Amino acid sequence: MFDQVAVVGATGAVGRIIRELLDQRNFPVGRLRFIASKRSAGSKIKFRDQEITVEELTPDVFKDIDLAIASTPDEAAAEFCPWAVAAGCIVIDESGYHRMLPDVPLVVPEVNPEAVDQHKGIIASPNCSTTQMVVAMKPLHDAARIRRVVVSTYQATSGAGVAGEADLIDGSRAALAEESYAYKAFKHPIAFNLIPQIGSPKQDGYTSEELKMVHETRKILGDESILISPTCVRVPVTNCHSESILVETERKLSAAEARELFAATPGITVVDDLGAGAYPMPSNCSGKDDVFIGRIREDLSCPNGIAFWCVSDNLRKGAATNAVQIAELLVARNAAGCKA
């Protein structure tokens, strides 16, 4: 157990879910502290049977804090993480800043739990789209080694924060009323529309979001040879990212075998009955922590291909839940005498 644990970015959308999960999952902690920007400092947040005053994020705040679970923008993480590590605090960082640094483990507990032992004070949690995909890939990769992935994402507006959700809701109202609306999070209307760009333009016509899925997946699975072709699309859905995934494996897997592998994997729920109209959808996966998989079928275009549909709550497993699971993993491994 860690004596003092902090949630950094405690008043944000992901921070709120982290607080809820620490309570719901009965995370063991002596004293819980909430840290946020100067704007939120001094406010009070109820946790269990107490009210906790939010502290300002400063270099001195990490004194005596053993573990911090942080959900902040990249710039903030780049600044405060060295403060925390210098004070002897372990940081689980949700931002994208540390993910691809060679001395920072990038962890999804269902996929590469052993990687936490390599940390030097910072453990990174992956991009939300990468997280659900590698959870789905893991059992297939272990059974038959994945050589190639073609993935198209259908990403909810909650992935763009509060402004993204407001753009969808208010933009939809304006569109229905035939009124104009000034979009804040998106360059194009998201109401009744799809935007085939998430992130900034990068090399060879890919976006930063797409290249995250390439590089993060290889790092998490420890296999630089996996070929990955991603296309990331923003869709007019409030919450939960969906992905259409095709994997090509070295050894042929039947749809039945893939279904059994998925069903036997912790953290995955299979919903797959096409005849009954049963498959994962954002509307029935929101607020849940698992990765949901359906539409499992053998690919018609290559002999060793398996295609499937994957949905996960991007604010939970894609962010808050994964971070809390990393914290739980640290507690369990410390209790078992592994490296802290």
Are residues 249 and 145 in contact, defined by beta-carbon separation less than 8 angstroms?
A: yes
CA-to-CA distance for 213 and 134, rounded, in angstroms? Answer: 9
Residue 118: strand, helix, or coil: helix
Give residue 231's identity as a one-letter amino acid code: T
Active-site residue, selected from the candidate residues 81, 241, 285, 310: 241
Active-site residue, selected from the candidate residues 89, 128, 285, 310: 128
Instruction: Tell me whether residue 104 is exposed, middle or buried, using C-beta atoms within 10 angstroms of its C-beta: 0 to 12, 13 to 18, 19 or more.
Output: buried
195 CB contacts (<8 Å, ≥6 apart)? 186, 187, 188, 233, 234
Are residues 223 and 203 in contact, defined by beta-carbon separation less than 8 angstroms?
A: no
| Cα atoms in the Cβ-side hemisphere of radius 13 Å centred on 152 | 9
**What DSSP element (H or E) covers 305?**
strand 305-312
Are residues 65 and 44 in contact, defined by beta-carbon separation less than 8 angstroms?
A: no
CA-to-CA distance for 273 and 255, rounded, in angstroms? Answer: 13
| Cα atoms in the Cβ-side hemisphere of radius 13 Å centred on 281 | 8
Residue 290: which of 310, 261, 260 has the closest Cα?
A: 310
CA-to-CA distance for 98 and 91, rounded, in angstroms? Answer: 11
241 in catalytic set: yes
89 in catalytic set: no
CA-to-CA distance for 53 and 36, rounded, in angstroms? Answer: 10
Pairing of strands 305-312, 291-298: antiparallel
Please give the C-alpha separations between residue 243 and each of 116, 163, 212, 260, in angstroms, as whole numbers. 27, 23, 15, 20
Residues labelled catalytic: 128, 241
